[in-house]
Amino acid sequence: MSATITMEPTSTVALPDVDKSLRAEIDASTRLPVVLFYGSAIFWLLVGTGFAMLASFKMNDPAFLDQWGWLTFGRVRPAHLNAVAYGWASSAGIGTSLWLMARLCRTPLRHAKLLVSAAVFWNIGVLLGIYGILAGDGRSIEWLEFPNYASAILFVSFGLIAVWAVVMFRFRQPGHIYVSQWYLLAAIIWFPWLYSTANLLLNFESIQGGAQGAVNWWYGHNALGLWFTPIGLATAYYLIPKVLGRPIHSYYLSILGFWTLAIFYSWNGMHHLIGGPFPAWMVTASVVASMMMFIPVITTAINHHMTVRGNFGALKWSPTLRFTVFGAMCYTLASVQGSLMAIPTLNSVTHFTHYTVGHSHLGLYAFFTMIMYGAMYYILPRVVGWEWPSARLIRWHFWLVAIGIVLMVVVLSIGGILQGLALLDPEITFMATLDYTKPWLFLRSGSGILLTAGHIVFALSFVLLLLKVGSPKVQPTLFASQGEDKPEPLSL
């Protein structure tokens, strides 16, 4: 049966029409936890960006601020990763998940105090962890650099969140479980399992070195694929149809996408170690799993694309939609790139180079962070009770970060490939391979400046929103006023 592309769904299961006032109640009940998590996230975004710029400048000029041990590159770089991964991305993801779960479970948020405690613990944990890294207690295990005293606190915090989530699901309104809820439930279950296992085996009581790499990258890749990706996809699956008022293209594709992701993604970890000291079958299994990822990725891409199709014009006005669709497209791009990078022939070029760094930013920034921006632009007005004060700030934010991240990924990819090809040729001395990368690293610092500016603009926007600056608005703040030719009022 060939795919018949229809604009109208062939059938829909109508959700019980939620009373608008119930929605208001839900939004009000989520206010404190969401604002706390979002506020923390934006704080850590600025901190993490600061560390990123330091690290990037130090690669351009190694003498930059090199008199202090606490600012040495080997500490600033993991401080950046942890600040943006656990500080920004996880907090933003948790804040978004709370609101989504409350809305999708169609019940006001219960036990907000649990979440407030979780937010406090989370921030303490990240703060202690970053301090520990700069002080020299970093473990030098990628994605798990936090010393034990910090990771334990994070785990406690997450335990509170997981308990809260289980209670929410328990008390949800009966009925159809929407695809976003599958992803959120999965993320809530997978992440603490990942985090506790990895920390127990690598940090608290470390197993022999030969096995560590496997556990390390089982964790590292799954933090991306089974924590951030499900939250990002859940958000996109909610916001895209919600803003457009159209159904998700295909329930069956949603099912296929979810289960193939669950089955294949978790086996990808070893593709960080191709050619490395591990049994051949483990590496090969990861290569196969990485290629199989084409299925969930293409599935999700079709689902999203066909949902938006015909309505791309809305991207001109809606910040939520523009950020979210940008992110969703970059999800496809990053995943396809990742699958290709796992092919051993290509991997022998890109492994150990800046190409990998570009890829990770394509994933965590261009996909996940952009979707989080989209979520924040949608959710914050609702929980705060005030529309975004300045359309100009939103425009600046979008263009600065969009151009910044595209530039960053492009220059790191080019530099990385040149570096990789040079590394493959034993006639080229090692020092010469470095020379290939230097101009691209300078350009990367330039892209970082754009991103930093974008983050400052966004933080400013957020603060003005919290302070409820300006006059109250009835219409949402869009990129540009819709004017005479607007098709219909956008619900944003």
- Segment 39-98, which members bind other proteins (CB under 8 A)? 58-60, 62-63, 66-69, 72-75, 77-78
For the CB of residue 454, give the shortest distance to other proteins in the complex, in Å: 25
For the CB of residue 211, give the shortest distance to other proteins in the complex, in Å: 4
For the CB of residue 267, give the shortest distance to other proteins in the complex, in Å: 5
Residue ranges in 112-151 that form contacts with other proteins under rule CB under 8 A: 112, 136-142
Residue ranges in 149-168 that form contacts with other proteins under rule CB under 8 A: none
Q: Looking at 273-281, 324-332, 406-414, 459-467, which segment touches other proteins (CB under 8 A)?
A: 273-281
Residue ranges in 232-251 that form contacts with other proteins under rule CB under 8 A: 237-238, 240-245, 247-251
Q: Which of 116, 127, 163, 262 binds other proteins (CB under 8 A)?
A: 262
Residue closer to other proteins, measured from CB, 180 or 413: 180
Q: Under the criterion CB under 8 A, does residue 386 sit at the interface with other proteins? A: yes
Tokens describing residue 384: 């705060």
Tokens describing residue 310: 């015909």
SS3 195: helix
- How far is Cα of residue 211 from the mean position of the Cα atoms in its chain? 28
Q: Under the criterion CB under 8 A, does residue 216 sit at the interface with other proteins? A: yes
In order, the DSSP letters of 364-391 are IIIIIIHHHHHHHHHHHHHHHTS--S-H
Q: Which of 430, 483, 484, 485 binds other proteins (CB under 8 A)?
A: 430
Residue closer to other proteins, measured from CB, 43 or 436: 436
Q: Looking at 88-96, 288-296, 366-374, 453-461, which segment touches other proteins (CB under 8 A)?
A: 288-296
CA distance 405 to 140: 26
Q: Under the criterion CB under 8 A, does residue 218 sit at the interface with other proteins? A: yes
- How far is Cα of residue 303 from the mean position of the Cα atoms in its chain? 20
Q: Under the criterion CB under 8 A, does residue 435 sit at the interface with other proteins? A: yes
Q: Under the criterion CB under 8 A, does residue 469 sit at the interface with other proteins? A: no
Q: Under the criterion CB under 8 A, does residue 467 sit at the interface with other proteins? A: no
What type of residue is 76? Answer: V
The number of residues in the chain equals: 492
Q: Under the criterion CB under 8 A, does residue 210 sit at the interface with other proteins? A: yes
What type of residue is 451? Answer: L
Q: Looking at 121-129, 173-181, 311-319, 394-402, which segment touches other proteins (CB under 8 A)?
A: 173-181
- For residue 483, how many other CB atoms are within 10 A of its CB? 7
Q: Give the C-alpha distances (Å, rounded to integers) separating 265 from 185, 186, 192, 212, 230.
A: 16, 13, 17, 20, 11
CA distance 124 to 52: 21
The pattern of x and - marking residues 290 through 309 that bind other proteins according to CB under 8 A reads -xx-xx--xx--x---xx--
Tokens describing residue 83: 């600040």
Per DSSP, 226 falls in state I
For the CB of residue 180, give the shortest distance to other proteins in the complex, in Å: 8
The pattern of x and - marking residues 308 through 327 that bind other proteins according to CB under 8 A reads --------------------
- For residue 112, how many other CB atoms are within 10 A of its CB? 18
Q: Which of 84, 366, 423, 465 binds other proteins (CB under 8 A)?
A: 423
**Beta-sheet strands, E only, within 105-214:** none
Decide if 269 contacts 222 (C-beta within 8 A).
yes
**Beta-sheet strands, E only, within 121-236:** none
